């Protein structure tokens, strides 16, 4: 697992450059709505990859926390086994001490026959082997416990580092989101953008099945506000929306565009079917769910709402038309 500081250093630096680079210089005239919209779009194209990277880290953090809980559950009974085995070895040692080598030698010398002598000698050898095996077993159990405990300790330390990095990253992203909101208010007089949320029939008439269920869910979410890092039930970002849509159909997707890319496979644009995912930009940092007739449902950006749009409105990623089935 890469060191969290290495994972986020480039991202935080990029956000810093973004914030500095977008601070306006001396203003000679109020920018037009078109100029503000252009600035917002350019800033958003740089910011959304950072948001999806946040989603990736949040997913990793959640999975690591589950691993820690699972490992702790395994360690608890193992610790008990070690204690029990140590107790058994202690009992053997006590018995050996009480009887002592001299007593056992006397028993051998007092044997009534050669057969009895051999039987007693064999018994002593078996007891010795049993003790050795028990001690070896305890040592092996202790090694397993120590190894798993060390793994758990390292995992918890990594989680703590990720938590700190996420807090810093979230603060940087939110600062830029707030700045974009102010620009949007300057451009539109409110914090939202205009335009119809529905520009076609949604959901379309589809045969039953997982695709129809996912599309129906996506269409039902039209009008929900965009909130970065959200996957419902009251707000969504782009990968949170597609995750929720397919979850309704029983298909589990991670809340991160990069993971959803890997969880799907390429289909040609000509063969797109409702329910397929459409990724945008060269790094596929934005995603929507196709609903047919060249339309998708997606969560566009801060200040907007889940809405319909033509997939041709944005540059589709190479191999960016993909199916999760």
**Is 90 exceeded by the pLDDT of residue 263?**
yes
Query: What percent of the chain has pLDDT above 70?
Result: 73
CB environment 196-205: b (16+ within 10 A), e (fewer) = eeeebebbee
Strand partners, 195: none
What is the topology classification, in CATH, of domain 4-188?
Answer: Helix Hairpins (1.10.287)
User: Domain 210-323, CATH 3.40.390.10 — does that match?
Assistant: no
In contact, 312 and 302? CB cutoff 8 Å: no
Interval 104-115 mean pLDDT: 56
**Is 80 exceeded by the pLDDT of residue 134?**
no
More confident residue, 58 or 273: 273
Please tell me what DSSP assigns to residue 294: T
42-100 pLDDT per residue, tens: 888 888 888 888 888 888 888 888 888 888 888 778 777 777 766 766 666 566 556 65
CB atoms within 10 A of CB 20: 8
User: Which helix (H) or strand (E) is 168 found in, with range?
Assistant: helix 114-188
Domain(s) labelled CATH 1.10.287.1490 in the chain stretch across 4-188
Q: Tell me the three state secondary structure of residue 31.
A: coil
Report the chain's mean pLDDT, rounded to a whole number: 79
Residue 193: the pLDDT is 57
**Is 80 exceeded by the pLDDT of residue 313?**
yes
Please provide the DSSP assignment of 226-290 as one string: B-TT-BSSS-B-HHHHHHHHHHTTT----SSHHHHHHTSEE--GGG--TT-EEEETTTT-EEEEE
Domain(s) labelled CATH 3.90.1720.10 in the chain stretch across 210-323
Cα torsion 276, 281, 287, 291: sign? negative
**How far is residue 18 from each of residues 21, 171, 316, measured CA to CA in Å?**
5, 14, 24
- pTM of the complete model: 0.66
Residue 175 tokens read as 């600062």
């Amino acid at each position: 697992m890469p060191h969290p500081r290495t994972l986020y250093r480039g991202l935080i630096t990029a956000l810093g450059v973004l914030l500095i680079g977008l601070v306006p210089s001396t203003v000679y005239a109020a920018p037009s709505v078109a100029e503000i919209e252009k600035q917002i779009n350019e800033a958003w194209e740089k910011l959304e990859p950072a948001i999806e990277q946040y989603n990736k880290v949040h997913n990793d953090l959640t999975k690591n926390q589950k691993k820690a809980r699972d490992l702790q559950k395994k360690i608890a009974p193992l610790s008990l086994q070690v204690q029990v085995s140590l107790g058994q070895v202690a009992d053997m040692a006590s018995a050996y001490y009480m009887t002592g080598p001299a007593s056992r030698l006397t028993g051998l010398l007092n044997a009534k026959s050669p057969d009895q002598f051999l039987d007693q000698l064999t018994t002593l050898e078996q007891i010795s082997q049993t003790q050795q095996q028990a001690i070896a077993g305890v040592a092996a159990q202790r090694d397993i416990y120590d190894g798993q405990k060390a793994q758990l300790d390292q995992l918890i330390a990594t989680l703590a580092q990720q938590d700190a990095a996420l807090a810093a990253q979230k603060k940087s992203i939110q600062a830029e989101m707030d700045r974009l909101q102010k620009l949007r208010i300057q451009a539109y007089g409110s914090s939202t953008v205009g335009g119809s949320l529905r520009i076609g029939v949604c959901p379309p008439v589809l045969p039953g099945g997982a695709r129809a269920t996912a599309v129906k869910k996506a269409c039902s979410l039209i009008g929900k506000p965009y909130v970065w890092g959200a996957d419902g039930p009251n707000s969504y970002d782009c990968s949170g929306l597609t995750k929720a849509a397919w979850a309704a159909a029983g298909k589990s997707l991670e809340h991160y565009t990069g993971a959803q890319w890997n969880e799907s496979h390429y289909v040609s644009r000509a063969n797109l079917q409702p329910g397929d995912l459409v990724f945008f930009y060269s790094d596929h940092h934005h995603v929507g769910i196709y609903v047919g007739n060249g339309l998708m449902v997606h969560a566009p950006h801060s200040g907007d709402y889940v809405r319909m749009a033509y997939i041709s409105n944005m540059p589709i990623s190479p191999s960016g038309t993909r199916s999760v089935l």
